[in-house]
Amino acid sequence: MSAGEDTFTVLCQLLEPFNTAKIALKPGTDISADLNIDSVSVMDFVMEVEDHFNIDIPLNVLSETRSIADLVKVVDGRLVKG
């Protein structure tokens, strides 16, 4: 990922295929509540995120992640850690 590329923008792109109701994605958008995607699809999405950024997001961290902004923090945190 290039230095200037925005994590939020990338996450929105990755989320788009799961956003079947075509809801406008904002940092505050609640991934499970607003998008109403089932647990299997959420795992698909998480896998896409992990593969794209080459990071691992454990379940306990996921359980405390609600909004896209939360996920941005998780991804950026994991990227720094390497």
Partner 1 sequence: MHGTVAKGNIRQDDGEFVLRPTPHQNPVLAKVLGGFATLTAGLDYAARGVTGFNFYSSRGQLEHVLPYRELRTRAIATARKLLTTGLKRGERVAIVAETSPDFMAVFFGCQYAGLVPCPMPYSMYIGGKDAYVSRIAGMLKTARARAVILSSDLASHIGEAARIAETTIVKTFGELQAQPESIEKLRPFDVDDVAYIQYSSGSTSSPKGVLITQKAIVANTRGILRDGLKITNDDRAFSWLPLYHDMGLVGFCLSPMMGQVTVDYLSTTSFARRPALWLKLMSENRNTIAYSPSFGFDLAARRINGEAATLDLTAWRVAGIGGDMVRADVLNLFSEKMSVARFDSKAFTPSYGMAESTLAITFADLSKPVKIDVVDRLHYKLAQKAVPASEELRQSPEKVRSFVVCGRPIAGHEIVVRDDNGKDLGERDIGHILFKGPSLMAGYFENVEATQAIMTADGYMDTGDMGYWLDGEIVITGRAKDLILHNGRNIWPQDIEWAAERIEPLRSGDAAAFAVEGPDGDDDVVVLIQCRVMEGAEMEELRRKVAAVVHQTAGVECEVVLVAPKSLPFTSSGKLSRAGAKDGYLTGEIAEISPVARVPHRPSGEARLHAAE
Cα distances from 82 to residues 7, 12, 37, 79, in angstroms, run 15, 22, 29, 5
Length of the chain, in residues: 82
Give 2 or 60: the residue with its C-beta nearer to partner 1: 60
User: In whole angstroms, how close is the CB of 71 to partner 1 at the nearest point?
Assistant: 9
User: In whole angstroms, how close is the CB of 1 to partner 1 at the nearest point?
Assistant: 20
| Binding residues for partner 1 (CB under 8 A) | 30-34, 36-40, 42-44, 46-47, 50, 56, 58-60, 62-66
Measured CA angle at 9 (ends 79, 39), to 5 deg: 75
User: In whole angstroms, how close is the CB of 27 to partner 1 at the nearest point?
Assistant: 15
Give 3 or 59: the residue with its C-beta nearer to partner 1: 59
Give 7 or 35: the residue with its C-beta nearer to partner 1: 35
Chain-centre distance of CA 19, in angstroms? Answer: 12
* Of 41, 39, 43, 40, residue with least CA distance to 19: 41
